[in-house]
Amino acid sequence: MTPASETSPPAANASLNPPPFQAQQERFIRRPGAETVVSVTQQDKGNQANLREVLEQTPGVYITDRGENTLGTISMRGSDSSQTGPRSGRGVRGYMDGVPIGRIESGITQAFFDTKAIDYIEVYRGANSLRYGALATGGAINAVSKTGLTAPGVALSGSGGSYGNAFGQFEVGGAKGQFDYYGQVNQYRNDGYQFHSRSESTKASGNFGWRPSENVENRTFVSFSKSEQQLPTSVPLKQLDTYRRSGYDPTNASFPYNLRADYDYQRIVNKTVIRAGDTAYEIAPYFMASQFDHLPSPRAGIVDVKWQDSGISLRAERKTEIAGLPTELVAGFRPTYETARYRDWQWAAGSAGNQKSKLVYDDSFRSWLTEGFSEAAIEIVPRVRLFAGAQVFWTNRIFRDEYSGPVVPSGGLLGPASSNGRRNYDREFSALNPKLGVNWEHTRDHFWFANISRSTEVPNSGDIFSLLGIEQAVNGLNNPAVQLNLTQDLRMQRAWTAETGIRGGWERFGYDITLYHMRLRDEILSQCALGLIPLNRLTPGQRAQINGQFACSQSGNLVAYNADRTIHSGIETGFKTRPFVDVFTHRDHIFLNAIWNYTDFRFDNDPVFGSNRLPVLPTHQLFGELGYRHPSGFYASGNIRYVGERQVTFDGSGGDAFVVPAYALYGIKAGWKAPDNSWTLWFEGRNLTNVAYVGDFVPLLKSSDAASGTPSVYPGTGRAFYAGFTKRFN
């Protein structure tokens, strides 16, 4: 969406490992679908604590607001439209430098992305993610690291602000001869706007590049992270103004416990790019270990999970001719193997949920994911390119209950009873997903594009673990009237999507407009666990026990289920313009940027829900920014972020009391970047009018599932101010 005059073609010998930002800009505008490349380093500086703040000006991306942390849900085109919490991101695949990051069988985990070490981000909406072998419902996000070529020198950065916000970073990078290097370490802390919502993280990453010849590049990436995130309690929607900071729990049962979602990870990737004439080959073995310490609610116990993912990414790109027509080919193959250990512990009385006591679950998980993909771009006539491609995959899910300890009765608030040995799951999934598209440059630097594609989503390990937990609890009651088989009933999601759009720009105006229509079968949605349990068949005592264990107001009590047929349609728009130039002096200008997303996600004549709208995601989402930029490096702007009404219930029950109100947040930015890049100073204000708004919430099947008669929601952050600096020594 960059005006044409600001984009220059890459040099013939430009680095491919990773490619420079300018090269990606040029390539993206000529693609047959909704793709955006976002420079993180060239953005006007601000808090940039998570992907939501970095991508808030990107069309088609919706990330819920859980404060200055990494808990928010990432959604594109309705993916993950009813999920929340640390397992969010279904339907959006995550990559770092073109290699998968995170678990192969899940979506994006925000905690794995360090926005302070990223040069730019590629956003692929829908089927356009095929370039990296993904055909996910929502799309894919690929973050590209800073290197010694793009971030040379030594830099010190620091910032601080409201609610105990503090950040510091040290960076060093450089290049000499055939070698370049980059490394950084940063620490972040935020006490949180809500009670018990403190977040802390320490992250380090770096890469070392070697170019032994003009045609061979090798780069090794390493990264480490330790993050701790307290989980606040939800509050009743009708009392949002009263409890937006203090949290709310009428039984005072959550405040004494350290509800949390703590992530650690370690990752190493070695990536080699070899050029041979018009062909580039890419070989990238990778390994990632991640650990998760989670107390979602007192009754759930301490969830301790350790994953290991290893694989190799093989990819080739070639420029050639087919029947005399200029053609670009890309193909790849990527096998990945994941192992995991899921353990659940009751916690020791008096430890506030911090100390493990009795082991009650001990499960193993294994999964292979083998993906193959290819795409051809053929210029059938001048300025018209036809794209054809496909992805094929096979994957399995093997979950084994390996608990062999003594029978441990339910600890009530201290955690669940021990496993009964029946928490097992073994299934295979496979699919062939084709794609066909076209891109027409009808006028220089102005494009029309269209494509049609198929996508699939497979149940992830979090889905399986949660559903097995329900089966364990309910079937363990030995009530013959209630025996659940939820895991085997959960099916693979399938979808067909058609999209069309226009994009391009003049010197002072850039635009990107996309329309899409998606028809889904067996969409994997999430709801409160109680919605899958026939409570009316339980005895009063059993009902009280299950209601306590799976209360809808508790974080982590969302589980997966299949809808029959659903429809996702929408419009994604983005505009960047400089309406006035040379206002006060030569080369200054006023800029105006905006995005508007419209969504219409609903059931398709469902036997239970009819044609109701799906909950969680708003119909309208808007971000607008108006500002002034001086050639000396000074800038100032004001912005507005608007999120429309959001429905809470799947069946539409509850009336206006179960509709989350729309909100508009006003913000400001100001700063100065020295012409020689030696200093950067910035200031940012958010939610200037201190609006009480809902950042996120748990969807419900029906309004009667709300124990307090009103939805449970998570408040957004109140008025906040931040300021920071970067000092660079070259």
pLDDT digits (tens, 9 = 90+) for 582-629: 999 999 999 999 999 999 999 999 988 999 999 989 999 999 999 999
CA 326/CA 321 separation, integer angstroms: 5
pLDDT for 220 beyond 50: yes
CA distance 429 to 169: 43
| Section 658-668 average pLDDT | 97
Say if residue 534's pLDDT is above 60.
Answer: yes
> In the predicted model, is pLDDT for residue 13 greater than 70?
no
According to the model, what pLDDT value does residue 3 have? 45
Q: Is residue 569 within 8 Å of 586, Cβ to Cβ?
A: no
- H/E element, 639: strand 634-643
Least confident of 108-112, 132-136, 673-677: 132-136
Give the distance from CA 355 to its chain's centroid: 31
pLDDT score, position 497? 94
CB 199 within 8 A of CB 190: yes
Confirm if 395 and 492 have CB atoms less than 8 A apart: no
Q: Is 402 helix (H, G, I), strand (E, B) or coil?
A: coil
Query: In 10 A of CB 539, how many CB atoms?
Result: 11
Give the CA distances from residue 531 to residues 78, 194, 611, in Å, rounded to whole numbers and listed in that order: 21, 28, 19
Identify the pLDDT of residue 547.
83
Residues 6+ positions from 665 with CB-CB distance below 8 Å: 640, 641, 642, 686, 687, 688, 689, 691, 693, 716
Contact call for residues 649 and 626 (beta carbons, < 8 A) = no
Integer Cα distance of 669 and 593 in angstroms = 14
Residue 631: CB atoms within 10 A of its CB come to 11
627 contacts 638 by C-beta, under 8 angstroms: yes
Return mean pLDDT, the chain.
Answer: 89
Q: Residues near 176 by Cβ (< 8 Å), separated by ≥ 6?
A: none
Model-level pTM? 0.91
Q: Which residue has the higher pLDDT, 386 or 102?
A: 386
- For residue 252, the tally of other CB atoms under 10 A from its CB is 8
Asked if 705 contacts 74 with a C-beta cutoff of 8 angstroms, the reply is no
Q: Which amino acid is at 456?
A: T
pLDDT for residue 81: 67
Provide the pLDDT confidence category of residue 472 given band limits of 50, 70 and 90. Answer: confident
Q: pLDDT band at 700, cuts 50/70/90?
A: confident
What is the reported pLDDT for 291?
A: 94
**Considering only 83-87, 108-112, 175-179, 523-527, which range has the smallest mean pLDDT?**
83-87
Hey, what are 105's tokens?
């069988």
Listed ranges 79-83, 267-271, 296-300, 606-610; the one with the highest mean pLDDT: 267-271
Q: Residue type at 46?
A: G
> What is the structure's pLDDT at 11?
43
d(Cα 92, Cα 126) in Å, to the nearest integer?
A: 9
Q: What is the pLDDT of residues 284-331, one digit of tens each?
A: 999 999 999 988 878 889 999 999 999 999 999 999 999 999 999 999
